Chain A
Amino acid sequence: MIRPALAILRKDLRLELRTRESVPAMALFSVTVFVLFHFGVHRDTLEGALASGVLWVTLLLATVLGVNRLFAAEREGGALDGILLAPIDRTAIYLAKAAGLFLYLVLLELVAVPAFALLLLGPGIGGAFPELVAILLLADLGLAGVGALVSGLAAETRARDVVVPLLLLPLLVPVLIAAARATEPFLTGHPGPHQLAKWLGFMGVYDTVFLLLAVAVFDYLLED
């Protein structure tokens, strides 16, 4: 399963490097939303729960863009059939797509988080760097795991642009809550006692459950 998954992932990364259709769009979308918030809320800076909410809702919506495009290359020229004809475990397709989306999210955050700090955030976040990285990576795992599952489900539907956000966003509400709550204390300037371990644990359980669920059902999603 690993060999075909790596082949598909390598192909996806090569296509993204060549076409630059997903990550730049996700990053540009995020920066644009931060600029809109900058003007829309009539405040130069945000902090605490509001800052955390703005950051995570923006990242979630940017994820929708990536999920919508995750199977875009497969739809052109019937390439998905080419993969389905190969003697491989179809879970490899899911693993490759989830890993690809995870990498896209990491790249997105390398742009979006500094842009957020620059455009909207009052207090600095440098002191909480390791904790923020842990929160981002665990949240990304959940976003990628569920995103690849939903993308596979919607891959062959005509109304995928509508189906993806309608299915994806409700499923991602637990990640949004946990990530936003975990991040909030680090965006206040004077972080007091908080429950980082609790929220990280929650995201760990969420990620594990959805990854296992996706591995179990993905093969059936691609049946006609």
Chain B
Amino acid sequence: MTSHAIALEGLERRYGDRPALRGVTAHVGEGQTLVLFGANGAGKTTLLRVLATLLRPHGGRVSVLGASLPGESWKVRGRVGYLGHEPLVYPDLTARENLLFHARLHGVAAARVDELLRAVDLERRAGDPVRELSRGMVQRLAAARAVLHDPPVLLLDEPRAGLDPVAAEELEPLIGRASGRTRVLVTHDVERGLREADVVLGLRAGAAELAGGRAAADEVRRLYS
């Protein structure tokens, strides 16, 4: 399992009695992108949260960067960047204060905060409370937070949601394929997702219905029917 950046073997996860992930298996090499497709409630976000160590797997084997979850979660924290549906920032702190707070938790130098504020084009609004920023700006800030500690693995849950096309392109060097990071990407944009994918995983009701290398757009679309 350790030869892959991410390896899932028969991953199981339940919420109470309801299964959310059922026997999911997938392997992602270093620097590769796994694209997750599936209708709402298929288990995509749950899978990302398991990989981020925010949820414990209930069965199967999960390995991230050679560390087995949940036993070696502490080895994984700080080596993954997570960009989910929520920005994971404090609305009453400014953009800069939020990044500085996370920089302190991750032991990152303050200079990296300024570098990222420039990279996501938030330098001029860095002193404004997050509550006063637009949704797109908050998403850019969340992306900056996710890569603040330069993680080798990125877990991205619809990272372009709320972004205009220019902002989405600006984030490419940080969270796109060009970043060189191993990525797990959730998207509903089938064509774009397939362009970015080295590995495709299609979930339906928590089970892997589509798994492996390339897939056809029609196969992916059937997941949503």
Residues of the B chain whose Cβ atoms lie less than 8 Å from the Cβ of A77: 86-91, 130
Min C-beta distance of B107 to chain A, whole Å? 8
Main secondary structure of the interface of B (DSSP, over half): loop
* A84 partner, pick from B54, B85, B90, B106, beta carbons under 8 A: B54
Judged by a CB distance under 8 angstroms, whether A82 is at the interface is yes
Inter-chain CA distance A14–B94, complex, in Å, is: 11
**Contact A223:B104 (CB < 8 A) given known A14-B93, A77-B90:** no
Most chain A CB inside 10 Å of its own CB: which residue of B53, B88, B91: B88
Residues of the A chain whose Cβ atoms lie less than 8 Å from the Cβ of B88: 77-79, 81-82, 85
Interface residues of A in 144-189 (CB under 8 A from B): none
In the complex the two chains form, is A15's CB within 8 Å of B105's CB?
no
9-residue interface stretch from B75-83, B117-125, B160-168, B200-208? B75-83
Min C-beta distance of B11 to chain A, whole Å? 15
Judged by a CB distance under 8 angstroms, whether A133 is at the interface is no
Judged by a CB distance under 8 angstroms, whether A127 is at the interface is no
**Could you say which interface size class chain B belongs to?**
20 to 34
9-residue interface stretch from A3-11, A25-33, A38-46, A199-207? A3-11
Most chain A CB inside 10 Å of its own CB: which residue of B85, B90, B130: B90
The number of residue pairs between A and B whose CB atoms lie closer than 8 Å in the complex comes to 78
In the complex the two chains form, is A15's CB within 8 Å of B77's CB?
no
In the complex the two chains form, is B84's CB within 8 Å of A7's CB?
no
Judged by a CB distance under 8 angstroms, whether A213 is at the interface is no
Min C-beta distance of B89 to chain A, whole Å? 6
Inter-chain CA distance A19–B77, complex, in Å, is: 31
Residues of the B chain whose Cβ atoms lie less than 8 Å from the Cβ of A209: none
In the complex the two chains form, is B106's CB within 8 Å of A87's CB?
yes
| CB nearest neighbor in A for B77 | A87
In the complex the two chains form, is A15's CB within 8 Å of B74's CB?
no
In the complex the two chains form, is A85's CB within 8 Å of B104's CB?
no
Min C-beta distance of B163 to chain A, whole Å? 17
In the complex the two chains form, is A224's CB within 8 Å of B55's CB?
yes
Min C-beta distance of B213 to chain A, whole Å? 30
Residues of the B chain whose Cβ atoms lie less than 8 Å from the Cβ of A4: 104-105
| CB nearest neighbor in A for B89 | A77
Judged by a CB distance under 8 angstroms, whether B219 is at the interface is no
Inter-chain CA distance A218–B121, complex, in Å, is: 39
Q: How many residues of chain A get a CB closer than 8 Å to chain B's CBs?
A: 24
Residues of the B chain whose Cβ atoms lie less than 8 Å from the Cβ of A88: 77, 105
Inter-chain CA distance A85–B101, complex, in Å, is: 13
**Contact A81:B86 (CB < 8 A) given known A4-B104, A18-B92:** yes
In the complex the two chains form, is B92's CB within 8 Å of A19's CB?
yes
Residues of the B chain whose Cβ atoms lie less than 8 Å from the Cβ of A8: 105
Most chain B CB inside 10 Å of its own CB: which residue of A19, A81, A87, A88: A87
**Contact A85:B82 (CB < 8 A) given known A7-B101, A11-B101, A77-B88:** yes
When each residue 105-135 of chain B gets 1 if its CB lies under 8 Å from chain A and 0 otherwise, what string results? 1110000000000000000000000100000
Residues of the B chain whose Cβ atoms lie less than 8 Å from the Cβ of A84: 53-54, 77
* A85 partner, pick from B77, B91, B93, B130, beta carbons under 8 A: B77
Residues of the A chain whose Cβ atoms lie less than 8 Å from the Cβ of B56: 223-224
Min C-beta distance of A4 to chain B, whole Å? 5
In the complex the two chains form, is B105's CB within 8 Å of A7's CB?
yes
**Contact A73:B92 (CB < 8 A) given known A86-B106, A224-B56:** yes
When each residue 76-98 of chain A gets 1 if its CB lies under 8 Å from chain B and 0 otherwise, what string results? 11110111111110000000000
| CB nearest neighbor in A for B86 | A78
Min C-beta distance of B69 to chain A, whole Å? 12
Inter-chain CA distance A3–B101, complex, in Å, is: 11
Nearest 8 pairs between A and B by C-beta? A87-B78, A78-B86, A82-B88, A86-B105, A7-B104, A87-B77, A78-B88, A11-B101
Q: What are 12 contact pairs spanning A and B, CB under 8 A? A: A7-B101, A73-B90, A77-B87, A84-B54, A84-B77, A85-B78, A86-B106, A87-B79, A87-B106, A88-B77, A88-B105, A224-B55
Q: Which residues of B come within 8 Å of A, CB atoms? A: 52-56, 74, 77-80, 82, 84-93, 97, 101-102, 104-107, 130, 145
Q: Which residues of A come within 8 Å of B, CB atoms? A: 3-4, 7-8, 11, 14-15, 18-19, 73, 76-79, 81-88, 223-224
